[in-house]
Amino acid sequence: MRPARKRQNCIHLFLLTLILVLAGYLRLVNFPNRVSLGLDSARDAFVSLVGAKYLQLPITGPFISIAPVTTGPWYWIQLIVFRLLVPSNFAPWLLLALYSLGGVFVMYAIGRVLSGKRLGLLLSLLATFSPDAIDNATELTNPSVIAFFSELTILLFLLLLKKRSGRLLSILFGAVLGLTVNTHYQSLGLFILVFILLFIKSLRGYILKFTLPSFAFTFIPTLIFEFNNHWFNSRNIWQYLTVDQFNIWTPMRWLTYLSDFWPTFVAFIMGGSAIFGALVIAAISLVFIWQLFRRRLPLPYVLLGVSFLINVVIIRYYRGERYFGYLQFFHPYVFIFTGYVLTTLWRIRWGALIASLFFILYTGYIAPTIVERLKDVSFTAETYEYLAGIYQSFGQGPFTLYKCRDTVLPRINGLVLKLMMDGRYAQGGKTLLYHWGCQIPNVLVDGTVISHEFIHQHASEIYPRFDYVYDVSQASPAAMLLEGWREASPESMYQSAARWWMDEQPGAKGKGP
């Protein structure tokens, strides 16, 4: 190898390593204080930690937002398996951090396939600085992994397009796409890539023989769930498609959709304001149209552009919440198109200077947004502080926490989760209840039952108290049950999230929808 070429490769490897280190820092710095402990995150953490503890794998996943329909179980299965491999209660969040970091490398690989090392480094930088991608490292919800799997899906699509053959690539393409769709159904729009490949004669056989079967294979757990629960999901999907969607009003005319929704969404991914997002969209549109007019737009960009525009139309007519967090599968499109604009600029006179200047200004512009992402999550900090108050008031535990019947409060879930992570939750521990919704239980003092009225007025004299939390260890289990108190154990949280169908028996006679 020539010395100049060897030196270039060393510089390139150094830059890639530097980008990955920077990406890792942005995703892992201050990690324990940035992880989310809210309702959805606590739910997924319970599934991961309890499922690993009892070696249980679910056959269904979280519910979607528009109908009583569950996703596939693969997201939760990944969290459980990773917790078995990594001996840390932060394992489920660490897996998402690895996916977010892995997305940076996958974007580099996409750039290499499309154009070369320069585009690879550029796309990896865009993924590194994306505020939403940084958030995905600590937001423990199923949409947070969609960006990574979408990027991997598009990489496999481009490799198939380049090789025009490949049995293993075809199988992986179908399997990864299936995992992506199973994780969140709004990524179903990526299936358009399969239809595109079917139009390429040399790939049609591979898609039919290998991609479609491997895609279908990922739905086997969902099919088992359907067989055992009277086609719960299928019936509710049909209900949504034929009736419920027409009862949802989604005010979004085309002008508003294109001039407000998309600029804001692009800014959500890349950082900055809606004005910045509009400028990015305008630059992409102008460059793509100009290159099409000159017949110099490479085929991969044409095909990705077609699939992107089809998805834009689909989302416009989608009857449901267009929440940005659900549209993570657009991440690679935005990065790739932006990268193409910058590399196109690079080729013209003064283009390298313009592109470099843009990137320097861009990083400076979004730096405050990135810094905000590295700060403590307010709810997590509040949970830590609240738990410190409990330890100070009631000792170091262990504790058993009760809540009122089916009350759903983020604080309760967060407290139970952190107690579990600290190793201070145990059945038979000091009994605490979070006083919300039910009467404080009666207690027997010197053979006399103290009335509700007296307890309500003098509860802190009978039961030690910190804020809404009471130490009711002296109350009998029967008195707790009589007033509607139920243990908020990690096991019960896991059961209500991953095995609810065993209790509710949906579709059975007189049960559920």
438 within 8 A of 403, measured Cβ to Cβ: no
Residue holding tokens 């690993």?
52
On whether the pTM is more than 0.75, the answer is yes
In this prediction, the residues of the chain whose per-residue pLDDT falls under 70 are: 1, 251, 350-351, 444-461, 507-513
Please enumerate in sequence order all residues whose Cβ is within 8 A of that of 272, keeping only pairs 6 or more positions apart, or say none.
365, 366, 369
Q: What does 35-67 look like in DSSP terms, one character per residue?
A: S--SHHHHHHHHHHHHHHHHT---SS-PBPSSS
- Alpha carbon distances (Å) from 349 to 220, 326, 344, 354, 399: 55, 40, 11, 9, 69
Angle between the N-to-C axes of helices 146-163 and 331-347, in degrees from 0 to 180, rounded to the nearest 10: 60
Share of the chain above pLDDT 90, in %: 68
Q: What is the spatial distance between Cα 498 and Cα 8, in angstroms, rounded to a whole number?
A: 52
> What is the pLDDT, as a whole number, of residue 251?
67
> What is the pLDDT, as a whole number, of residue 245?
83
What does DSSP say about strands 448-450 and 465-466: parallel, antiparallel, or unpaired?
A: unpaired
Residue holding tokens 């796409």?
177
**Coil, strand or helix at 394:** helix
